Structures are given as C-alpha cells and as structure tokens.
Chain A
Amino acid sequence: MKRTGFLLGALSGLSVVANTDTIFSRALAQTALPGLPGGSDRILVVINFQGGNDGLNTVVPFGMPDYYRYRPSLGVAPNDVLRIDNTFGLNPVLAPFKKMYDGGNVAIVHGVGYPDPDHSHFRSTEIWQTAQPKGYESTGWVGRYLDDAGLPKANLFNAVAISNVLPEMLISKTTDVPVIDAVASYGLRSDKTKGNSEAFHEFVRDTTVPFRSPFLAQVAEIEDHAQRGAQELPKLIAGYQSQATYPTTPLGRSLALAAQIVGSKLGTRVLYIQHGSFDTHVTQKATQNRLLGDFANSIAAFYQDLAAHGNDKRVLTMTFSEFGRRVAENASRGTDHGEAAPVFMIGGGVKGGLYGRHPDLGQLNAGNLAFSTDFRNVYATVLERWLGRPSASIVGAGYTPLPSLLA
C-alpha cells in the first residue's frame, strides 16, 4: 500500500482512546454515500479463478461443431451439458450453479479479455488486478475505488482479502486492507500471552523517539490498527450463525467467512477470495471438474446463507481469471495458456442471462479466442451500476458499463 499523506496528529500526544469500541462504532453504522442508488450497503465479492480457467469447458458451446473438432478427448459431450439454450450450456459439475442460473441470478459475460493479451500468469494477473494493460501500475482497481469512495477512515474493514497474501487488486493509496486467512489465526500471536497486548498497545503509540523518520508515524499507525482490528474482529462476528452447509474446502471456508463478515455488518464493501489453481496443462478434466464442482457447491451455500440473513440482494459476486485457455487441446489431455474467457456475475441486482458475444471458433487469434468485451467494461459495470462510482478515474475513460446486466 502506498501512503502519500495521512494524519500524524492521530498519534502525537493525544490521549489514549479509552473505549476501543468507539473506533468501530462508526464501522457498525451504515453511512450513506453520495450518489449511490439504493443506499450504502452494497457489497462486492471478487473470486479470482487463479491459474487461467478454461472457459470453453465451463460455458460449453456444444452447439458449435468446431468445439468438438478442437477437443476430441476434452470436449464435454452434448448430452452431459446442462443446457442454457441450443448453443451453450454449463459443465455438468456446475449443477448447483445451474440452478442459480435458472433462478435468474447469474449473468454470464462471453469473451472477456483485453487487447494484446499477455500469456504470462504474473503479467496477465497484474493486468486484470491493476486494470492497466500498458505499463506498471502499483495500485489495484479496487484499491483505487476504495481511495475514491470516501469510506469511513476509521473502519478497519472497508475491504478484506480472505487469503494469505494481499492481492494487487486491493493495493490502494489510503486504505489498508487486512488479509485474513482464518479468524482464529488472524492477529498477533503474542497477544495470547498475558500483559503483552497492553504493553504492545503502549509502545506502538509512543512516537516521541530521539530521531525523525518519514515512515515512523505510518509504521506506528499500521501496527496499532492491525493489533486492534485483529482483537476486535472475533468479537464483532461472534454472533453470526451460518445457515448453510459449506464444502470443507478452502473456498467453502473462505465463503463461509465472507458470509459471516457480511452478516456482521462491519461496513465491509469488498471481499476478495482466491480459488485454484486452474492451470491445467496436463489431464485437465480431473482438476477442472474438481475446482468447478467446489465452486458450484460453495457459491450455492454462500447465497443460501446470505438469503437466510436477508443479504443475498446486497452482495454481487464477480469471478474472473487472468486468461482462458487455448481452443485446441494439447498433447497431454490438457490446454495451454489462452486469452478470452467468460466472467460470471452472481446475485445482487443481476439480471440473469448471457451477455456479450461468444468468440467465433472459426476466427481464432493464433489459436486463441479473440476477446469481444474488454474487462474494463465489466469493471465499469460494477463500479457505476453497483458501487455507484464513476469509472473513468479508476479504469480509464471510455469504458461503458454493459447495458441491462445490473438492474
């Protein structure tokens, strides 16, 4: 996270805040943001299908004969596909997800990508996360949203990464985003020892040291916030009762925690979760089927849990992957790095259905699917139609939201 300016006054010589609950009382209140339709309690969950998910075997174009020509062993049989219409259907392992689609809660955007695609995991992920295909941008697109949205500075949970490393997407100039793998392990281990927590609290807030440093106050502030946030979090979410059975997988656990955070009304606007690895160069079927099946079960449980608490319409989930995969299967019953792939938008105000134009299997881009929707249009849709912020300063000018996808 880059900091270009922040309040030194908060730490120099002020009295200790006696009641730590007041720090979070603002978090508990729902403050309305200007210009946001329908109020401030809209939440975005981003799920990163890490590794490059094969879109063609996810949203199967069983009605296109070329698909089977390119995929003699990997092609999903027409009778197995969960049909959406005469051309497209879902991989059968996605049955619980198909149910959600049939309920009108899933929008599928075909052919999402960007010009001059990069086939490196690192660079293409960076491009999707920073929304900057040219040059290197240090902040993430969601990070820039957090900077722009005027969220309460005192809320330590404006965004949460349920992961073990902070993703580039959430790097921002002014907002520190906690990375929480599991609540039980989040925080200072030393706090479990008597006396340490109070002592840490005092040391960290004392910045009257015999030297000056441009980074001193920032370090002290982050240390202080991180400790207090970690101490408060379990108490804040303790009252939540899950109303669904999640798969006992990392994704299942992550979405269960996400539902808990949403249901505890911490004021969190964005949650990030990672799923994978989808990098199926060899014997794709087993791995991809397992991961997609896990996703279907976990997302169904997530929305069941949210609905039981009246939160399903508040939460929009978006999936993405750094690229799709090559159209032709390779020599090892797998696929290599590709380009365009579908994006799912789930829940929230989504008007279910198929959006965009599926790439033409007869007009490939050197063996890869040519993109028809720039991912920045998808981000603009989320920013403007869901989060209520103008997208130009975040993803660049000229990326119009997809019409009618979000009510």
Chain B
Amino acid sequence: MLDASSALAPYAGPWNRRMAAHLLRRAGFGGAPADVDRLAAMSSRDAVDSMMRFDPGPLPARPALEDPPVPPRGLYRGFAQAAVGGAVPMAADDATAEARKAFQMQRNRNRRQNLISMQTWWLQRMIASQAPLQEKMTLFWHGHFTSSPEKGTFAQELLMQNLLFREYALGNVRDLTLHVSQDPAMLRYLDNNVNAKAHPNENYARELMELFTLGIGNYTEQDIRESARAFTGWTFRRNPDGTGSFLDNHNQHDDGSKTFLGQTGNFSGTDIVNIIFKQPAAPRWFAKKLLAFFVYMDPEPQLIDAVAGLIRQHDFEMKPVMATLLHSNVFFSERAYRALVKSPVEFVVGTHQLFGINEIGRLELPVLRQMGQVLFYPPNVKGWDGGSAWINSQSILTRENFANGVAKSPQMMQAASWMVPAMRSMDPRGVAHTLTDAMLQGDVSPASVAQLVTYLGGSGQTELAQLSPENVDERVRNAAYLTMAMPAYQLA
C-alpha cells in the first residue's frame, strides 16, 4: 500500500549498484557499468544531484541539415498566381511533368536524408551526453507535445522544436506550452497555421486541452470553439533555410470577446494558456504523465495528487519537481523497480552505452522502426503508449536480433573494456558473473546463472566444445547476447 505522506520524502534506504542502475535507466538510458559504479560509490543524494546538473559535454548542438531544394526557374510557372485564385497551370508537356517529378523526388530525398541526419544526431546525443536527464526529458516532451513530418513539415522545423524541448527540459511547463503553441512544426501539424477568423480550425485548441494539458472531462466543446478563436492568426513564415518563424497575423485574428473555462475577455492564445494552467486539472495531468514515464504506470490517485501538489507549489517549474521525484521513496520503491518496459530508443541507446559503442550505424534506424518507435515520427498525436504496446513477437524478435548483432560486432569487444579481464580469465563462473552483474546488476535467478556457467564452459548437454582460447571470443559474445535475452533486460 502506498504511504502518500512519505512517498515523496527523500529516500534513505539501501544504496548499491542496483539502485544506481535504476536511477541511470530512469533518468537516462542505462549508462555503462563504469557509470553505475561511479554513482553507486556516491551517496544516493549526491548521485541524484549529479543527474540534475546539465553539462552535456562537447557534443554538436545541432545536426548539419541540407537546405530544402529550390525548384528550377519556370518549373512551377504560374503557381503563385494560382495560390491567389488563378487557374492552376497544367504541365505543358511530358518534359515538364517529368521535370516536376524529378524535383519532387529530389525534395523527398532531401527530406528523408535530413530526417536520418536528425535521428542519428539525437541518438548520438542520447548515447554520449554527460547530462542524460536532459536528453531523457527532451524525449519525454517529444512524446508529449507531438508533431511529425507528415504534413509536409521540413526537417528544420522539427529540429527547432527539438531544440525548444531541450532548452526547456527542466524549465517552466507553462512557458514551454506557450512556446509550443507558437512553434512552426506544431502550428503546421495541428493546423493552427490555417486557423483564421473567417474559417476557424479547432484542431490545435482541442489537442492542447485533450492531450497536452488537461485531459477529457475538464473542458467543454464550447471551450474548444472559443479557444480556437483566440488562437486565430497564429501562423508562421517559412525561411529559405527551411526553418519557420512565428507570425501573429492580426488580419486573421478574431479579436472579439471569448468565454473560456468560465472567464470572459478578448483573449489571445497567450491568455488561453495562462487560464489553462490555473485549472486544478493541469498539474494533475502532468503529474500522471511524469509518474507513468519515470516511476510506474497506473500510479495511485493519492500519488498523482501528491505530485500535482508539488507541481502547483513550484508553479510548474520542472527542476524542483523532478529533483523531489528522483530523490523520493516512491522512485526507489520496490514497486517502481524494473516496473517499466524499455522503449525502443532506451533499448537501443542503453545497449550502445553498455558496450561503449558511440556511433550509430545503418541498422539502428530501421530496427527502431520495426520495434515501433521512429524519432520525430510519433504514430499519432497521442504519442507512444508505452508499456505492453512495446511488446509483441515482432518487436521482441527485433530486439533480440539487434542485441545479437551488437554482441557479434567488432566494436563491442573493442569498446567494452569491462569484458576483457573476464574473457582473459577463461573462467566460466567469472565470466557469467561479470556479464550478469554488469548487464543486469544481478537481477537473475541462481538457476539462470548456473545455466550461463554451463553454456560458457561447454558441456555434454549443449554439445558445445570446452571453453578454449580458440572459441572464447565467440562463446563470450554469445553469452553476452544470451544475457540480453533474459526478460529482465527488457525492463527499465
């Protein structure tokens, strides 16, 4: 039973590698064994504090993206006139149609390549950043304030949104929400860029309340209509480098009086955001999301209340809220331990960190797609459900095959220096303990360890040859893979 009064009080229980690894998995992506050792050697208090300091180290602040291609002169002759009501000119001949097709392919290629660059850059940041919580919070916001390229959004627009999430990783959520409401990728994704006085579009107003801040039941359809009016005219201008700039188009703005959540005035989008954050439902909504992402799914109502109170107390500043949460009893409770399923990104990044492999190769992006998580491409505006949704036969086979690929890769043995002494020892028991301690912090049954020892040593049961200098490399690599195949490795 949850004791709500002490749930958020500072944890003073046992501090060891298991707890340190739990902290690293939740506030980051798992880290390397040396990171776990380092945190385990501190006090629990110092360990959590160290996760809250954001000095990421020398990393590229943004990826190099290619500007969107410019169509050859005359290819779309007359289109500008068509945009203001003229007839759309047809392709004069097959050559023009072919040229437009070629340009379209070039534009698609540009978009695809930029997306790959962004995904690769972000994954590498997640792996190598010395401030993993900053990347983890960025990922959290990315799955919360969702946008995707599906509306013809340029990669540069999505990048700006990602930088916004990173800047506000532990910042003020109300301010972040206001900036998100003016973000070009979001304006386009939820159609607010075409929300105008003459023809209002409610898509952003609805999702802002339903999914981003309050949840169903805490506003009415009328509130959606009125707030949509307040957001009219909020659009963006596209820049030649593919980024967008927020534009408050007064000509398109409905400056009449609106009644929203019980208040009346000539509201703009800024007022709407401020009124939303005064509602009791707002801190509860964020509390529920944070708990499900960082602690355990289906948090108790009393726990949600306690965290909501904390959020309200700190006026939506995430830094003190997360500090309290990460220091807390409930965060380090038995119920929270291994209570989450690693998302595909956590699985891939964490496995890289485990073996010290910093580079993203050609496999990671397709594999993440098969596991069900493409960065910058949430499946819909709800983001990723998490939990059971990550686990099906395809995603599991993909995870196992990816782990197998890493275990067989040249980089793995070079980078995972912690494996070398064990391998040199040629001692099956020693290797088995090294693997299960480093990779699972001992969260294995004695029976499984015994199985691993038998496997490593070679025996009549498996018809494997005895462990020898000739086969030790392959045998240990396979043992590392088998350790990752244990169900515990899928759990964060």
Residues of chain A touching chain B, judged by Cβ–Cβ distance below 8 Å, are: 1-3, 72-73, 120-123, 126, 136, 138, 156, 161, 164-166, 168, 176-179, 186-190, 193-196, 198-200, 202-204, 206-216, 218-220, 222-223, 225-226, 229-230, 281-283, 329-333
- From 71 to 115 in chain B, residues with beta carbon under 8 angstroms from any chain A beta carbon are 76, 79, 88-91, 94, 97-98, 100-101, 104
Residue in chain A with minimal CB distance to B378: A122
Q: Give the residues in chain A near B396, CB-CB below 8 Å.
A: 219, 222-223, 226
Given contacts A2-B389, A179-B393, A216-B487, A199 and B400 within 8 Å (CB-CB) = no
The answer to whether A223 touches B148 (Cβ under 8 A) is no
The answer to whether B478 touches A209 (Cβ under 8 A) is no
Q: Give the residues in chain A near B443, CB-CB below 8 Å.
A: 209-211
Given contacts A203-B448, A211-B338, A220 and B487 within 8 Å (CB-CB) = yes
Q: Give the residues in chain A near B387, CB-CB below 8 Å.
A: 215
The answer to whether A219 touches B393 (Cβ under 8 A) is no
Q: Give the residues in chain B near A218, CB-CB below 8 Å.
A: 388, 391
B42 at interface, CB cutoff 8 A: no
The answer to whether A198 touches B462 (Cβ under 8 A) is yes
Would you list 15 pairs from A and B whose C-beta atoms are within 8 A, ordered by A residue?
A1-B391, A136-B381, A136-B382, A188-B401, A190-B400, A195-B462, A195-B463, A195-B478, A209-B488, A211-B337, A212-B338, A215-B340, A215-B491, A331-B90, A332-B91
Q: How far is the CA of A223 from the CA of B482 in the complex (A)?
A: 12
Q: Give the residues in chain B near A161, CB-CB below 8 Å.
A: 394
The answer to whether A166 touches B485 (Cβ under 8 A) is no
Residue in chain A with minimal CB distance to B407: A190
Q: Give the residues in chain A near B340, CB-CB below 8 Å.
A: 215
B3 at interface, CB cutoff 8 A: no
Residue in chain A with minimal CB distance to B341: A215
The answer to whether B394 touches A219 (Cβ under 8 A) is no
The answer to whether B370 touches A189 (Cβ under 8 A) is no
The answer to whether A210 touches B487 (Cβ under 8 A) is no
Query: How distant is B104 from chain A, measured CB to nearest CB, in Å?
Result: 5
Q: Give the residues in chain A near B389, CB-CB below 8 Å.
A: 1-2, 138
Query: How distant is B189 from chain A, measured CB to nearest CB, in Å?
Result: 10
Q: How far is the CA of A207 from the CA of B381 in the complex (A)?
A: 36
Q: Give the residues in chain B near A176, CB-CB below 8 Å.
A: 392-393
Q: Give the residues in chain B near A121, CB-CB below 8 Å.
A: 150
Q: How far is the CA of A165 from the CA of B488 in the complex (A)?
A: 24
The answer to whether A214 touches B339 (Cβ under 8 A) is yes
B38 at interface, CB cutoff 8 A: no
Q: How far is the CA of A198 from the CA of B488 in the complex (A)?
A: 18
Q: Give the residues in chain A near B148, CB-CB below 8 Å.
A: 122
Given contacts A198-B462, A203-B451, A165 and B394 within 8 Å (CB-CB) = yes
Q: Give the residues in chain A near B89, CB-CB below 8 Å.
A: 331
Q: How far is the CA of A199 from the CA of B451 in the complex (A)?
A: 7
Q: Give the residues in chain A near B451, CB-CB below 8 Å.
A: 199, 202-203, 206
Q: Give the residues in chain B near A282, CB-CB below 8 Å.
A: 97, 100-101, 104
The answer to whether B391 touches A222 (Cβ under 8 A) is yes
- Contact count band on B: 35 or more
The answer to whether A3 touches B397 (Cβ under 8 A) is no
Query: How distant is A101 from chain B, measured CB to nearest CB, in Å?
Result: 31
Q: How far is the CA of A215 from the CA of B391 in the complex (A)?
A: 9
The answer to whether A190 touches B88 (Cβ under 8 A) is no
Given contacts A190-B404, A195-B455, A208 and B447 within 8 Å (CB-CB) = yes
The answer to whether A126 touches B79 (Cβ under 8 A) is no
Q: Give the residues in chain A near B391, CB-CB below 8 Å.
A: 1, 3, 215, 218-219, 222
Identify which of B393, B444, B486 contacts A229 (C-beta below 8 A): B393
Query: How distant is A375 from chain B, measured CB to nearest CB, in Å?
Result: 19
Given contacts A2-B388, A203-B448, A331-B88, A283 and B490 within 8 Å (CB-CB) = no
Residue in chain A with minimal CB distance to B461: A198
Q: How far is the CA of A198 from the CA of B462 in the complex (A)?
A: 7
Q: Give the residues in chain A near B487, CB-CB below 8 Å.
A: 204, 207, 209, 216, 219-220, 223
- From 30 to 88 in chain B, residues with beta carbon under 8 angstroms from any chain A beta carbon are 76, 79, 88
The answer to whether B447 touches A281 (Cβ under 8 A) is no
The answer to whether B404 touches A177 (Cβ under 8 A) is no
Identify which of B90, B393, B400, B464 contacts A225 (C-beta below 8 A): B393
Residue in chain B with minimal CB distance to A282: B101
Query: How distant is A80 from chain B, measured CB to nearest CB, in Å?
Result: 18
Residues of chain B touching chain A, judged by Cβ–Cβ distance below 8 Å, are: 76, 79, 88-91, 94, 97-98, 100-101, 104, 148, 150-151, 296-297, 334, 337-341, 369-370, 372, 379-382, 385, 387-389, 391-397, 400-401, 404-405, 442-445, 447-448, 451-452, 455, 461-464, 474, 478, 481-482, 485-488, 490-491
Query: How distant is A85 from chain B, measured CB to nearest CB, in Å?
Result: 31
Q: Give the residues in chain A near B444, CB-CB below 8 Å.
A: 209-210
B98, B297, B392, B405: most-surrounded residue (chain A CB, <10 A): B392
Identify which of A3, A178, A194 contacts B394 (C-beta below 8 A): A178
Q: How far is the CA of A250 from the CA of B447 in the complex (A)?
A: 45
The answer to whether B400 touches A223 (Cβ under 8 A) is yes
Residue in chain A with minimal CB distance to B105: A282
The answer to whether B392 touches A209 (Cβ under 8 A) is no
The answer to whether B393 touches A177 (Cβ under 8 A) is yes
Q: How far is the CA of A219 from the CA of B394 in the complex (A)?
A: 12
Given contacts A207-B487, A215-B387, A222 and B393 within 8 Å (CB-CB) = yes
What would 5 more interface pairs be, CB under 8 Å, given A179-B394, A332-B97? A1-B391, A177-B392, A203-B486, A214-B297, A222-B396
The answer to whether B445 touches A209 (Cβ under 8 A) is yes
Q: Give the residues in chain A near B372, CB-CB below 8 Å.
A: 165-166
Q: How far is the CA of A199 from the CA of B447 in the complex (A)?
A: 12
Identify which of B101, B296, B393 contacts A332 (C-beta below 8 A): B101
Q: How far is the CA of A212 from the CA of B444 in the complex (A)?
A: 12
Q: How far is the CA of A156 from the CA of B396 in the complex (A)?
A: 15
Q: How far is the CA of A222 from the CA of B491 in the complex (A)?
A: 14
Q: Give the residues in chain B near A194, CB-CB below 8 Å.
A: 462-464
Q: Give the residues in chain B near A223, CB-CB below 8 Å.
A: 396, 400, 485, 487
Residue in chain A with minimal CB distance to B216: A135
Q: How far is the CA of A198 from the CA of B482 in the complex (A)?
A: 11
Q: How far is the CA of A389 from the CA of B455 in the complex (A)?
A: 49
The answer to whether A203 touches B482 (Cβ under 8 A) is yes
Q: How far is the CA of A166 from the CA of B392 in the complex (A)?
A: 9
Query: How distant is B479 from chain A, measured CB to nearest CB, in Å?
Result: 9
Residue in chain B with minimal CB distance to A3: B388
Query: How distant is B30 from chain A, measured CB to nearest CB, in Å?
Result: 16
Residue in chain A with minimal CB distance to B103: A282
Q: Which 8 A-B pairs have the closest CB atoms?
A: A179-B394, A226-B393, A333-B97, A195-B462, A282-B101, A219-B487, A220-B487, A208-B445
Q: How far is the CA of A166 from the CA of B337 in the complex (A)?
A: 29
Given contacts A189-B401, A190-B404, A206 and B448 within 8 Å (CB-CB) = yes
Q: Give the residues in chain B near A330, CB-CB below 8 Å.
A: 88
The answer to whether B369 touches A165 (Cβ under 8 A) is yes
Q: Give the residues in chain A near B380, CB-CB below 8 Å.
A: 122-123, 126, 136
